[in-house]
Amino acid sequence: NYAALIQQQINEDKQNLKEKAVYGIQLTEEKLNDFRDEQIGQLKELMDEATKPNKKITISKDSEHK
């Protein structure tokens, strides 16, 4: 469950504020080859947005948005 993984990483990051936060998992070349070109473009756009400086990340539970 990726949401649980991200939440765990955020919680760990809060405990260790001196290190740079890294979230998610590294995609292998094999997994990247399974994506269509359009999906690779979307992942690049997401990475660009997620790595902009001075961004605050908030995670909300789906139930809060219903």
- What pLDDT does 56 receive? 66
- What is the Cα–Cα distance from 66 to 64, expressed in whole angstroms? 6
- What pLDDT does 4 receive? 83
pLDDT at 12 over 70: yes
Mapping DSSP onto H, E and C, the string for the chain reads: CHHHHHHHHHHHHHHCCCCCCCCCCCCCHHHHHCCCHHHHHHHHHHHHHHCCCCCCCCCCCHHHHC
pLDDT at 57 over 80: no
Contacts of 7 (CB under 8 A, 6+ apart): 59
Tell me the per-residue pLDDT of 22-53, one tens digit each, with 9 for 90 and over: 667 888 889 888 999 999 899 889 888 877 77
- What is the Cα–Cα distance from 4 to 9, expressed in whole angstroms? 9
Say what the pTM is: 0.42
